[in-house]
Amino acid sequence: MGGGVVGAATTWHLLEAEPSLTVAVIEPDPSHELAASSAASGGIRQLFTRPENVLMSQYTHEIIDRWSTWTAPDGSVEGNDVPDLAWRRQGYLFVAGTSRAEQLRLDYEQHVRLGVDAQWLEPERLRELYEHLHTEDLGAAILSPGDGWLDPHSFLRGMTSRARRLGATMIKGRAVGFETAQRRVTAVRLESGGTVEGESFVNVAGVWGPGLSAQLGLHLPVEPMRRYDHYVETKTDFTGYPFIKDPAGLAVRPESVGLTAALVDFDAPAGFDLSIDPSYFEDVVWPALVERVPATDQLKLVSTWAGLYDQNRLDGNMILDRWSGRLDNYYFATGFSGHGLMHAPAVGRALTELIVTGSFQTLDLTRMGLARIISNSPYRELSIR
């Protein structure tokens, strides 16, 4: 259930692991107009506090590095058929104030242990590298030069192409409920009135996923939450700058001849509202942007668009598990809170391992599971989200 980037990644992992399987993908909108990935910034970073997030991003880097041959399982795809990722390896830069510098140092030490190409930057060095940044209030920064951003649409197209080439069955329809017997789901009910039977059922339906789980009695602290991105143009050239995230939550990176800027309001109420508040940029984002990048005091706001996070209100990290003991063949991944695109390949691999072998094999994601939700024990990022 769900044919977005996580659904596509799960599908091709399943078919690659067990070619004899029949895998059906139920997706109501093949254009994915409202999918989270359609409005994503496309960032791929390894700068996380929790090691699972670091290692999942590293797997995505493996996919990116092999992209030109990877989209076709048999390697036969012609170069012109490969979706252009528009991959920009310009790095990620996390900056922290003096009060957060100690935690950032701990993060940096972990990054090095996990094999991340990371650089520790003191404010003086930061000023030398990025003259347009305001650094007087900063204690330190971490630069991961191998990270960057890509085109989300091409990433999804490549994932879907691989799933189709491996033999996935695509069903245009909306899952609205389930049929169960004893401790198993036996079928998915569609809005059209039909059903899809199966042996295992995977809910990766994005912001609609928690509502489906709730119908089975599984209530998760995940809600759709609106976020904005803004494209602006200035007279200053930011070519070559990395993707910057700062303590205020500002996220800014070069785009075309300007910048893309965002500052997520994590207290925004839940809902499927994609309307745009024209005052949000001027009242919230622009002041933070000028504070960090003073050269943006004069700019032109060209466009604003809205998307939805499937926000995990407990701790901002994904929930990936099987509902053991209740419905043993029901699997789910949700609550990505803005990290779904960059972690989709590893999520698909993890779900496949749970389904095929019954446990995690490549990367232990137990701490991302349901147990912490039940015990109300958050496992959140300790630095910038």
156 and 68 within one domain: yes
Looking at the structure, do residues 62 and 46 belong to the same domain, yes or no? yes
* Domain assignment of residue 272, yes or no: yes
Q: Which of 364, 129, 74, 371 is nearest to 244 (CA)?
A: 129
pLDDT at position 76, please?
A: 53
pLDDT of residue 247: 86
Here the CATH number for the domain that contains residue 246 is: 3.30.9.10
Statement to judge: residues 193 and 266 lie in one domain: no
Say how many domains are in the chain.
2
Claim to verify: residue 383 and residue 251 sit in the same structural domain: no
- Looking at the predicted structure, is the pLDDT value of residue 197 above 70? yes
Instruction: Check whether residue 371 and residue 293 sit in a common domain.
Output: no
Q: What is the pLDDT of residues 92-120, one digit of tens each?
A: 999 999 999 999 999 999 999 999 999 99
CB under 8 Å to 80, separation ≥6 — which residues?
Answer: none
Residue with tokens 């499927």, as numbered in its chain: 272
Half-sphere exposure of 382 (CA within 13 A, CB side): 15
Residue pair 263/284 in contact by the 8 Å Cβ criterion: yes
- Which tens digit of pLDDT belongs to each residue from 213-256? 999 999 999 999 999 999 999 999 999 999 999 988 999 999 99
Q: What is the pLDDT of residue 72?
A: 64
Do 282 and 293 fall into the same domain? yes
Section 310-318 average pLDDT: 97
Report how far residue 84's alpha carbon sits from residue 150's, in angstroms, rounded to the nearest whole number: 9
Task: Give the chain's mean pLDDT.
Answer: 95
Query: At residue 40, does pLDDT exceed 80?
Result: yes
For residues 156-177, give the mean pLDDT: 95
Percent of the chain with pLDDT over 70: 98
Residues sharing a CB contact under 8 Å with residue 302, sequence separation 6 or more, in sequence order: 231, 232, 233, 258
Is 96 contained in some domain? Answer: no
Instruction: Give the pLDDT score at 352.
Output: 98
Position 311, amino acid: Q
Asked, for residue 37, whether it belongs to a domain, the answer is yes
- Whether 243 and 320 share a structural domain: no
Instruction: Identify the pLDDT of residue 324.
Output: 94
Q: What is the mean pLDDT of residues 20-26?
A: 97
pLDDT attached to residue 319 = 98
Backbone angles phi, psi at 331, to 5 degrees: -120, 150
Q: Which domain holds residue 298?
A: 223-312
Q: Could you read off the pLDDT of 317-368 as tens digits, one per residue? A: 999 999 999 999 999 999 999 999 999 999 999 999 999 999 999 999 999 9
* pLDDT beyond 70 at 33: yes
Question: In which element (H, E) is residue 277 found?
Answer: none
Residue 151 has pLDDT above 60, yes or no: yes
Are 68 and 192 in the same domain?
Answer: yes
CA atoms within 13 A on the CB side of 4: 27
| pLDDT higher than threshold 90 for residue 184 | yes
The reply to whether 100 falls in a domain is no
In a domain, 132, yes or no: no
* Residue 143, token pair as written in the block: 């630069």
Residue where one domain finishes, among candidates 312, 341, 368: 312
Q: Which two tokens stand for residue 40?
A: 């994503």
In this model, does residue 160 exceed pLDDT 80? yes
For residue 6, tell me if it sits in a domain: yes
pLDDT at residue 244, as a whole number:
98
The distance in angstroms from the start CA to the end CA of the chain is 27
Q: Are residues 337 and 295 in the same domain?
A: no
Final residue of a structural domain among 288, 312, 336: 312
Q: Do 253 and 215 fall into the same domain?
A: no
pLDDT at 282: 97
Which of 259, 283, 312 lies at the terminal end of a domain, its last residue? 312
- Here the CATH number for the domain that contains residue 76 is 3.50.50.60
pLDDT computed for residue 68 by the predictor: 85
Q: Give CA–CA dist 98/95, Å, rounded.
A: 10
Identify the three-state secondary structure at position 309: strand
Residue 233 lies in a domain: yes
